[in-house]
Amino acid sequence: MRKGQTSGDGVESTAAGGQVVEYVRRLIEARQLTPGDRLPPERDLARQIGVSRPSLRSGLRSLQAMGVIRARQGSGTYIADGPPRLGEAPLRFLAALHGFTRDEMFEARRVLEVGTAGLAAERARPEQMAAMADEVASMFATLDNPQQYLIHDVQFHRAVAAGSQNPVLATLIDTVAELVYETRRVTVERATDLKESAEMHRRIYQAIKAHDPERARREMGAHLDLARQAQAGEENGRGRAAGAVRQ
């Protein structure tokens, strides 16, 4: 433990990160922030909320994973287009309450996302293709940072869903994507081959860009099968590590 660090630091950081999310939610509800608006620089925003810079970044990562904000390299952080869903209870608690299993989650994702990838291959607009390309590039750029990689992974799936031009599917997948983020961020540090995952996302993007629905569905299905196996390995590794600590 570092000098000056207490065992409650993680809890305090999480609570302060929640302050950031709540602060931004209030600004959105008051229409002081609208889609496309740029957030103040980190130093100014941390001072306005009354939190440290690390706590601010923790809150911003949560907002980014929710799809509420989007970082533009060299430009700043902006409120994303589309309705934010900050008023909902954290989905990880709902999953715990109702006992959602990993297999049930991936079954739901397969039903939703394989067909949606095919629709995106038929319907995606240039701006949605650009968003997919950006997220793929960001995944390759964050292979050594699993937490950041996971954010771009989730946002890629949101971009594919948006490309379907079906707001019902996009909303359902957005909800599932948030749950995936909440459950997987605990285990993603044990991911063993993010590069293979990034390559599979690139193949999905290439199929959609080629307007090939059958290939897009096939690539999405293969990716979800691999992700299911990878997450099982991450969770098993976490369980073994916990057992070693108890011993």
Give the pLDDT confidence score for residue 234 in this predicted structure: 64
CATH code of the domain in which 214 resides: 1.20.120.530
Domain termination residue (choose one: 56, 79, 102): 79
Do 72 and 128 have their domain in common? Answer: no
| Res 87: pLDDT | 41
**Which has more pLDDT, 244 or 204?**
204
Of 32, 54, 79, which residue sits at a domain end?
Answer: 79
**In percent, how much of the chain has pLDDT > 70?**
81
- pLDDT band for 17, please (50, 70, 90 cuts): confident
Residue 112 and residue 232 in one domain: yes
pLDDT of residue 82: 56
Least confident of 17-31, 115-129, 134-148, 169-183: 169-183
Residues 105, 215: one domain? yes
Same domain, 62 and 97: no
DSSP label at residue 74: T
Co-location of 56 and 128 in the same domain: no
Residue 2 lies inside a defined structural domain of this protein: no
d(C-alpha 161, C-alpha 169), whole Å: 7
> How many C-beta atoms lie closer than 10 Å to residue 227's C-beta?
17
More confident residue, 186 or 209: 209
Number of domains in the chain: 2
Confidence (pLDDT) at 245: 41
Q: What percent of the chain has pLDDT over 90?
A: 51
pLDDT of residue 100 exceeding 60, the answer is yes
End of a domain among 49, 79, 109?
Answer: 79
CA 92 to each of CA 44, 59, 104, 176: distance values in angstroms, whole numbers, following the listed order = 31, 17, 14, 11
Is 189 inside a domain boundary?
Answer: yes
56 close to 46: Cβ distance less than 8 angstroms: yes
pLDDT surpassing 60 at residue 190: yes
Residues 103 and 62 in one domain: no
Quick one: 210 and 115 in the same domain?
Answer: yes
8 domain-assigned: no
Any domain includes 84:
no
Q: Is residue 4 part of a domain?
A: no
Domain with 101 in it: 91-246
Rounded Cα distance, 243 and 247, in Å: 6
* Pair 51, 131 in one domain: no
Q: For residue 78, what are the β-bridge partners?
A: 38, 70
Domain match, 235 and 123 both: yes
Question: Is residue 197 pLDDT above 80, yes or no?
Answer: yes
User: In this structure, is residue 100 part of a structural domain?
Assistant: yes
User: Looking at residue 7, what is its pLDDT?
Assistant: 41
How far apart, in whole angstroms, are the C-alpha atoms of residue 2 and residue 106?
39
Q: Is the pTM of this model over 0.85?
A: no
CATH number at residue 52: 1.10.10.10
Q: What is the pLDDT of residue 91?
A: 57
Between 161 and 93, the more confident residue is 161
Q: Is the pLDDT of residue 2 over 50?
A: no
- Distance (Å, whole) CA 68 – CA 86: 8
Mean pLDDT of 152-174: 93
Residue 47 has pLDDT above 50, yes or no: yes
25's tokens: 């939610």
- Statement to judge: residues 64 and 162 lie in one domain: no
CA distance linking residue 123 with residue 213, whole number of Å: 10
Cβ atoms within 10 A of the Cβ of 10, count? Answer: 11
- The verdict on residue 1 lying in a domain is no
Asked if residue 238 and residue 149 are part of one domain, the reply reads: yes
User: Within this chain, do residues 24 and 101 fall inside the same structural domain, yes or no?
Assistant: no
- Examine residue 52 and state whether it is found in any structural domain, yes or no: yes
> pLDDT at position 228, please?
86
Average pLDDT, the chain: 83
Q: Which residues contact 143 (CB under 8 A, 6 or more apart)?
A: 149, 194, 195, 198
